[in-house]
Amino acid sequence: MDDLNRFCESIPKIELHAHLNGCIRSSTFRQLLSSPTDQMRFDTLDKEFPMGDTHSRMANFFEKFSLLRSCITNLDDIRRITHETLEDFISDNVIYAELRTRPRSFQNGAIAASSYVEAILETMQEYEDKICSRLILSIDRTQTLEQAMETLKLAEKYRAQVVGLDLSGDPNVKSFERLRPVFDLAKQINLSTTIHIGELPDEECLNENNLIIDYKPTRLGHFNFRTDDQEQRVLKEQIPLELCPTSNLLTMNLSDLSKHHFDLFYKNKHPLTICTDDSGLMYCRLSSEIFQIVQTFRLTKKELYEFMFQTSNFIFDKNMIEFCQTKLKNFSEQLNLF
């Protein structure tokens, strides 16, 4: 392994865009698949994923998520996934992670969504001395306004560890306008928000981008497809962007990273963070995502250090900024970096 790669592994890292169930280890996913039919479906989806255009890749990806959802059936499953995800981030020297998940109930409501959230928060707590992790609750694009409101209530109930609200799910479903009242309420109670934006190359998606930028969430995820005007607005408003190289490359159908919008925003000194999105399903790690960016856009070690330092300013739990910055400073002093 070369020196730069090792540096990317050892530098203390901050992960701000990781869907909990998307972080599932492939081996765990396979174990949870109960029937041979499901296993065959998984293999076919896995094989076919790299094929086709943005829309068909997205469809493949969301079918895999629906398969995954059907085989996670109890709180032990979610505890296991949380535990393994945190172990994987720790082994990659991630010091602060914001995981996001859509709360769900099990057994026709006998096990409530609040128990799902508590199971995750308890597991996170067990790891507090090894990794500082916080939770963002996701609202799915297909949910009703009432369901989204329930998620907001859960966020309020667990406010100490729940640090924000996310909008995600199948981007073919354009629902920001319908769900906006919940996001307005989040703003009123000072709950941070992050919204997936510009995931598809279609006109409806571009139209929705305007509504999302008008709302001005605390952070934006991806922003793969956008108009020049939207790009300028996000630059001007300085809305931090969560970029996920492997995920973006696959959904944008790009042949290599050199065409990724990291370049444009980085050159403009825009607030940025590099993240994994779905490390389990995408077979990636945060250090390798960062390494690819550093290698492609020829960042020096110093520039990467400064990049990670600026990322710490956009974490939702503002009480932990100093913690992240101290870890980074200690790292640079130990290595006698600069």
182-201 binders of Zn ion (CB under 5 A): none
Q: How many alpha carbons lie under 13 Å from residue 210 in its C-beta half-sphere?
A: 7
What is the smallest separation between the CB atom of 142 and ligand IMP, expressed in angstroms? 9
Place of tokens 């979610």: 78
Which of ligand IMP, Zn ion, none is residue 65 near (CB under 5 to 8 Å by kind)? ligand IMP
241 φ, ψ to 5°? -110, 135
Q: Minimal distance in Å, beta carbon 330 to Zn ion?
A: 31
Question: Which residues are marked as active site?
Answer: 199
From Zn ion, ligand IMP, none, which one binds at residue 102 (CB under 5 to 8 Å depending on kind)? ligand IMP
Rounded to whole angstroms, the Cα distance separating 148 from 113 reads 12
Distances (CA, A) of 37 to 42, 44, 100: 9, 11, 29
Residue with smaller CB distance to Zn ion, 77 or 166: 166
Whichever of 205 and 234 has its CB closer to ligand IMP, that residue is 205
Q: Choose among 210, 267, 217: nearest CA to 242.
A: 217
- Applying CB under 5 A, among 15, 77, 231, 277 the residue interacting with Zn ion is 277
- Residues touching Zn ion, count (CB under 5 A): 1
Rule CB under 5 A: is residue 98 a binding residue for Zn ion? Answer: no
Q: Which is nearer to ligand IMP, 77 or 92 (CB)?
A: 77
Distance CA 89, CA 75 (A): 21
Q: Which one of ligand IMP, Zn ion, none interacts with residue 169, CB within 5 to 8 A by kind?
A: ligand IMP
- Residue 255: helix, strand or coil by DSSP? coil
- Ramachandran angles phi, psi of 4, nearest 5°: -65, -40
> Tell me, what DSSP letter sits at residue 111?
B
Phi first, then psi: what are they for 284, rounded to 5°? -135, 165
**Residue 22 beta carbon to ligand IMP: minimum distance, rounded to whole angstroms:** 5
Give min distance, CB of 335 to Zn ion, in A. 32
Nearer to Zn ion, 9 or 277 (CB): 277
- Helix or strand holding residue 194 (H, E): strand 192-197
16 or 328: whose CB is closer to Zn ion? 16
Judged by CB under 5 A, the stretch of 6-14, 71-79, 202-210, 272-280 that binds Zn ion is 272-280
Contact residues toward ligand IMP (CB under 6 A) are 19-22, 65, 101-102, 138, 140, 168-169, 196, 199, 247, 277-278
What DSSP letter does each residue of 303-326 carry, written as one string? Answer: HHHHHHHHHGGG-S-GGGHHHHHH
Q: Which residues bind Zn ion (CB under 5 A)?
A: 277
